[in-house]
Amino acid sequence: MKNLFLIIWGILLSKNIFAQAQITRPAFTKSIIDFGAVPNDGKDDTWAFIKAGKYFNNIWDINGVPLAEGNQNFSFTKYSGKLVIPSGVYLVGKQVSIPAAGLNTTYGAVFGYPKANGPIRFAPGWAYKAGLELISINGVDQFSIIGMGKTTPVIKYNDGLAIGYFNSNGQPVWFPASAYGLNYGVTIGSFLEAKNCKNIFIENIAVDGNNTPTLDGGKTMYNGGWVSDLIQRGATGAYFLNTKNVTLNKLNIHHMTLDGILFQDFYKDTLLYPKQAFSNLLITDTKCDYNRRQGFSWVGGRKVTVKNSSFNHTGTTASGIAAGNPGAGVDIEPEADGTTLLLCVDGTFTNCQFINNKGCALVNDETAGRSKNMLFSNCTFWDVEGYSVWVKGRSFTFKNCKIWGGFVFGNNGEVAGEETRFYNCDFADEEMPGKKGIYNADFALIESWQYAKRLLFSNCSFRTIHPKQRLAAIYSKSKEEVDFTVFSFCKFSVNYGNENDLLFGCVFDGNTSFNNIGKQVGIMSMNGIIFKGSNDAKKPYTFNLQGNTILKPANTNGPQLTQFVIGRSSTGNLNLGYLNFMVGAQSCLFSHWDQTIDIGKNASFINKGQLAMLNGNINLEGKFKLEAGSHTAFFNPVNFNSSTGQAPELSYNNASHFDVNESWKKNLEGLGKGQPISNMKFSKKIKLSKVNL
């Protein structure tokens, strides 16, 4: 049997099914029933779970009596520990009252077993209640908890538990005295606490924190602190501290008063600690929904893999009391081991959901500089009342993701190669079922104001559904083109009439379509914009502007910033790329004061709609075409310059118009009709021609 066990586990490990938690020793197995728990009897089973934790930690015997020094229930050098929980509902959550003078009692006295004399002590001045731990292990190597039976066993917390900040008289304590205070915090006890452990495997367990405030018709008692924000003393479904090689499979942790899962391995600066072992956390097919503070808090460690899991509905109660700051689906926020700062490195999330959270779907902010190498594939980030993705960390990459609600910040780009990147992602203000008409109002789908460098959006789609939804607020903090945000082969389909969209310091590479399908006019202000062309003359790129949109080059960054370049090479900084830049029949390009437009040698500027320029310069090295039915309004003299060896071309159809189209007069009100082409100044090298129908 022993050899068969090892063979089976070897096969599983070779297939990378349980590659994180390596259980290689034969199991020493106990059922929670052996510790006195009875499923579905409506009675409290806290004592059974406490005993099980102490038993597998070789601290107590099966009855809760402390072991004599040197005694063991079994040896972890020979066996792995295995706790089986059969199907059924187990009620847990024991809070003890603490007098003002403090508490000095035993577990046996609390639960009615005199021989179980393990101490329970709290100092004077503590809060009036404290929640006892459930399964707590320390220093264990190879331990598993497995749910067995026809249905997943449910660990459910009792009604009427208190959470918040209270003094020893039971009176609420408010900020600032309560802020993260240990003395005043009332907890309910985490289901699992694993500290300084290795190779922990948990499977097929449901943990119901029963966290519904009384204001929402539930029975959890909240008070003290800032109840909507600053209560950080609840309980977590599974809490790991300085623990490595953990696998969590098919868990359902919900309605906890703090987090679904909290993982903090002490992974530190590799220059100072070069021989650290990886943390190796694997989460598969797990739900962490409806928890109070986070679905998953990752606050230290390296190599975290999450697959087919959900982190939804954090802090979503009617009263808002059961929402803890930041209220995210997942929070990646490295903390510290005492005074030594921790890192969060090498995270992979695949086929995961982050939906309808009180805060962001994903947040990485306060200590983001110590977060690195995160990959999100085929994930859905969907929050309609705030940003979905709020990240500042290093080398965050998103592939084939839905980002519905908005993205903000991105990496500051101080180190090349660590920029935030999106591939084949869909950005939209999609409405969430049950929240009709609600979206991230007044904020943009993509927003980074003088923060990020070298943001990359490749083959992404951007869709605004609500007319007041902003599309973009990107403002480069750098004036160097290498630091600009890049949109490569992207599609913009908007339904808006917004006047606050801004793209300052951006590169459009590849075929780009921008289409306003709405009836209202939208305005996109641009400055420091590079439109790249192809290197293949037979396959020129296109930038196609369609719909009721004003594209507005506005030189607000100063003349020292590259302004509006059409036809930059796809490699290098020469204007030799093959590009057709088209202003559609319903669209308008309105160039503001002192703007410069560069049209490269192999590029064509094609106006089918409205071109309007207050004044400025057009540096023409390629082709400038005004097609039949188009309207061009030069309100002041515009200089057409050329320095190329070839003859650039400016052609206009005799059915084109040098004026303002009726449909654009309201938007260009007070500027006049424009001037004839004869009033413009042309370089002698430019070939000016009129094309007859």
Q: How far apart are CA 80 and CA 25, in angstroms?
A: 5
pLDDT of residue 7: 45
Average pLDDT on 431-446 reads 91
User: For 217-231, 292-306, 620-634, which range has the lowest pLDDT when averaged over its residues?
Assistant: 217-231
Average pLDDT on 537-560 reads 85
Average pLDDT on 523-545 reads 95
How does residue 516 score in pLDDT terms, banded at 50, 70 and 90?
very high
Is 591's pLDDT higher than 60?
yes
User: For 19-23, 523-527, 558-562, which range has the lowest pLDDT when averaged over its residues?
Assistant: 558-562
pLDDT of residue 6: 43
Q: How far apart are CA 592 and CA 556, in angstroms?
A: 10
Q: How far apart are CA 212 and CA 216, in angstroms?
A: 6
Average pLDDT on 61-74 reads 96
pLDDT of residue 11: 43
Do you find a cis peptide bond into 124, omega within 30 degrees of 0?
Answer: no
What is the tens place of the pLDDT at every residue in 310-367?
A: 999 998 776 667 677 889 999 999 999 988 999 999 999 999 999 999 999 999 998 9
Look at residue 142 and give its three-state secondary structure.
Answer: strand
**Most confident listed range (205-219, 300-314, 614-628):** 300-314
pLDDT of residue 18: 43
pLDDT of residue 560: 54
From residue 688, alpha-carbon distances to 281, 660, 692 in Å are 68, 22, 13
Q: Are 51 and 36 in contact (CB under 8 A)?
A: yes
Average pLDDT on 127-148 reads 96
User: For 177-191, 278-292, 393-407, which range has the lowest pLDDT when averaged over its residues?
Assistant: 177-191
Which of these, 477, 517, 469, lies nearest to 493 by C-alpha position? 517
pLDDT of residue 206: 98
Residue 138, beta-bridge partner list: 195
pTM for the model: 0.94
DSSP class per residue in 433-490: TT-TT---TTSEEEEEES--SS-EEES-EEEE-STT-EEEEEE-S--SGGGSEEEES-
pLDDT of residue 280: 97
Q: How far apart are CA 306 and CA 343, in angstroms?
A: 18
pLDDT of residue 13: 39
Max distance between CA atoms of the chain, in angstroms, equals 106
Q: Are 327 and 354 in contact (CB under 8 A)?
A: no
pLDDT of residue 507: 95
Q: How far apart are CA 52 and CA 61, in angstroms?
A: 9
pLDDT of residue 322: 66
Is 10's pLDDT higher than 60?
no
How does residue 20 score in pLDDT terms, banded at 50, 70 and 90?
confident
What percentage of residues in the chain have a pLDDT greater than 90? 71
What percentage of residues in the chain have a pLDDT greater than 70? 94
What is the tens place of the pLDDT at every residue in 208-244?
A: 999 888 877 788 888 888 766 677 888 999 999 999 9
How does residue 178 score in pLDDT terms, banded at 50, 70 and 90?
confident
Which of these, 569, 456, 454, 439, lies nearest to 496 by C-alpha position? 439
Q: How far apart are CA 243 and CA 554, in angstroms?
A: 54
pLDDT of residue 634: 92
Look at residue 539 and give its three-state secondary structure.
Answer: coil
How does residue 479 score in pLDDT terms, banded at 50, 70 and 90?
confident
pLDDT of residue 555: 67
Average pLDDT on 563-576 reads 86
pLDDT of residue 9: 40
Mean of the per-residue pLDDT values for the chain? 91
Average pLDDT on 524-552 reads 94
Is 418's pLDDT higher than 70?
yes
Is 89's pLDDT higher than 90?
yes
The secondary structure of residue 598, as a DSSP letter, is E
Helix (H) or strand (E) holding 8: helix 2-14
Look at residue 352 and give its three-state secondary structure.
Answer: coil
Average pLDDT on 442-451 reads 92
Look at residue 91 and give its three-state secondary structure.
Answer: strand
pLDDT of residue 219: 84
> 588: buried, middle or exposed (CB in 10 Å: 19+, 13-18, 0-12)?
buried
Q: Which tokens belong to 253?
A: 């942790």
Q: How far apart are CA 115 and CA 64, in angstroms?
A: 8
Q: How many residues make up the chain in this entry?
A: 693
> 533: buried, middle or exposed (CB in 10 Å: 19+, 13-18, 0-12)?
buried
